[in-house]
């Protein structure tokens, strides 16, 4: 089965009573037993729910994992994975990961006796140097946010494995349509399904995908014990959204490619960041480990070239908003908005400038988006 066929056909046809074409939404909090030992496989929705299970089966198949668990938000997926650790453990993480993940590690889990070292993962040697005897997890995002740095998945997976540490990839930006970390030896993939997987900006959610049954059991234990599973209605929306993931990603990428090429040649723009550009330092690696370059582009204005608020206010089709991965185009300033949850030092270390603008290209028609940017920049 090809990707789109899997996306459309996995986890559906769950209704034998009326033979509905789409997966029914079971909002029930609990499910009846026929005797004290027997139920239909579900007892209580925090632990398991047929609608959520359908979404989980679908995403597990797309990521080529053994199991997936849908969580209430992307951050609760991160929480569920970090709770595989215990006090005294050490984690090496990328220094340009999602701001909320950085904050959770730096300000919450570090209070619980887990240590974190943040390094530039573009060079896997930095990971080797940061490893300690108690390093139990390696956390990466590739491409990173907002500068779209590329990390070598195979190299990181093998360094982590040799050390006996779990490797975790936040695959939110690429989705399994373009990047399959588990195939390259990574142990766990997480997503904020709020972004591309749901794709319609009408849900917040997350998912944890495991590569082995043993990990899957630990993850399900955590999701149930912590109470972070996704509400059935939200899971139902995610399942509806994921069916069009492939065709949406292709159009996001067409738009991002055209916009990156346009920005790269614009005289008000200093640097354009897009892994699909031949000038991007990670381009060769991106071509090797991804099958497409995705819908995110960022750029730095030349110093004093343009007031950010003027630029944003002139845009018609790009909404000034955080988040990403929806069908509508968005624009934002990471320093002041999406990455404000990182300390100033951390933002500087990650190379984020005050003049940086991040675009999430939607699925609108390419000429309309290009015209909009041309006008706003003129
Ligand atoms: C948005 C995002 C998250 C957090 O997800 P929420 O659904 O907002 O909790 C984590 N990682 C990445 C890469 C994200 O973009």
Q: Where in the chain is the domain with CATH 3.90.1150.10?
A: 246-377
Q: Which of 108, 160, 120, 117 is nearest to 144 (CA)?
A: 120
**For atom 4 of ligand 1, which residue has the closest CA?**
74
Say if residue 310 is exposed, middle or buried (CB neighbours under 10 Å; 0-12, 13-18, 19+): exposed
Ligand 1 pocket (Cβ < 6 Å) reads: 73-75, 98, 100-101, 141, 145, 170, 172, 192, 194-195, 204, 206
98 C-alpha to center of ligand 1: Å? 7
Q: How many CB atoms lie within 10 A of CB 48?
A: 18
Looking at domain 246-377, its CATH architecture is: Alpha-Beta Complex (3.90)
Q: Do 211 and 66 contact (CB within 8 A), yes or no?
A: yes
Q: Which CATH number describes the domain made up of 3-242?
A: 3.40.640.10
The one-digit pLDDT tens for each residue of the chain (378 residues) are 999 999 999 988 678 889 999 999 999 999 999 999 999 999 999 999 999 999 999 999 999 999 999 999 999 999 999 999 999 999 999 998 998 999 999 999 999 999 999 999 999 999 999 999 999 999 999 999 899 999 999 999 999 999 999 999 999 999 999 999 999 999 999 999 999 999 999 999 999 999 999 999 999 999 999 999 999 999 999 999 999 999 999 999 999 999 999 999 999 999 999 999 999 999 999 999 999 999 999 999 999 999 999 999 999 999 999 999 999 999 999 999 988 888 899 899 889 999 999 999 999 999 999 999 999 999
Q: Strand 269-273: give its sheet, edge to edge.
A: 269-273, 296-301, 356-360, 330-332, 319-320
Q: Counting atoms of ligand 1 from 1, which one is nearest the CA of 324?
A: 15
Listed in sequence order, the residues at least 6 apart from 5 whose beta carbon sits closer than 8 Å to its beta carbon are none
Q: Cα–Cα distance between 43 and 38 in angstroms, integer?
A: 10
Q: Counting atoms of ligand 1 from 1, which one is nearest the CA of 193?
A: 7
Q: How many CB atoms lie within 10 A of CB 129?
A: 11
Q: Cα–Cα distance between 130 and 139 in angstroms, integer?
A: 12
341 C-alpha to center of ligand 1: Å? 12
Q: State CA 312 to chain mean position distance.
A: 25
Q: Counting atoms of ligand 1 from 1, which one is nearest the CA of 101?
A: 10
The residues annotated with a catalytic role in the active site are: 46, 98, 170, 195
35 C-alpha to center of ligand 1: Å? 42
265 C-alpha to center of ligand 1: Å? 31
Instruction: Measure CA of the first residue to CA of the last residue in the chain; give whole Å.
Output: 47
Helix and strand counts by DSSP (H, E) for the chain: 14, 12
Q: Where in the chain is the domain with CATH 3.40.640.10?
A: 3-242
């Amino acid at each position: 089965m090809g990707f789109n066929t899997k996306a459309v056909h996995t986890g559906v046809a769950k209704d034998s009573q009326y033979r509905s074409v789409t997966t029914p939404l079971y909002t029930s909090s609990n499910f009846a037993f026929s005797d004290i030992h027997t139920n239909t496989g579900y007892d209580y929705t925090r632990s398991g729910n047929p609608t959520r299970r359908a979404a989980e089966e679908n995403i597990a198949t797309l990521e080529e994992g053994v199991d997936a668990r849908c969580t209430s938000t992307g951050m609760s997926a991160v929480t569920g994975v970090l709770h595989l650790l215990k006090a005294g453990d050490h984690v090496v993480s990328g220094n340009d990961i999602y701001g909320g993940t950085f904050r959770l590690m730096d300000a919450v889990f570090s209070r619980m006796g887990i240590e974190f070292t943040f390094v530039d993962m573009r060079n896997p040697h930095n990971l080797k140097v940061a490893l300690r005897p108690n390093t139990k997890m390696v956390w990466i995002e590739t491409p990173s946010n907002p500068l779209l740095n590329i990390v070598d998945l195979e190299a990181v997976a093998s360094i982590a494995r040799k050390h006996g540490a779990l490797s975790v990839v936040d695959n939110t930006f690429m989705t399994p349509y373009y990047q399959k970390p588990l195939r390259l030896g990574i142990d766990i993939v997480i997503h904020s399904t709020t972004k591309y997987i749901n794709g319609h900006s009408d849900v917040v959610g997350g998912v944890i995908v495991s590569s082995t049954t043993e990990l899957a059991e630990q993850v399900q234990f955590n999701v149930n014990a912590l109470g972070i599973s996704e509400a059935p209605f939200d899971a139902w929306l995610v399942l509806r959204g994921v069916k069009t993931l492939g065709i949406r990603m292709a159009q996001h990428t067409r738009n991002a490619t055209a916009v990156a090429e346009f920005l790269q040649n614009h005289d008000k723009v200093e640097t354009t960041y897009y892994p699909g550009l031949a000038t991007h330092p990670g381009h060769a690696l991106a071509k090797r480990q991804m099958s497409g370059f995705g819908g995110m582009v960022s750029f730095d204005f030349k110093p004093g070239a343009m007031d950010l608020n003027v630029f944003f206010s002139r845009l018609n089709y790009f909404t000034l908003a955080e988040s990403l991965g929806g069908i509508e185009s968005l624009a934002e300033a990471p320093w002041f908005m999406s990455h404000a949850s990182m300390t100033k030092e951390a933002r500087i270390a990650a190379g984020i400038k005050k003049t940086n603008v991040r675009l999430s290209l939607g699925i609108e028609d390419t000429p309309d988006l290009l015209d909009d940017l041309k006008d706003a920049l003129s």
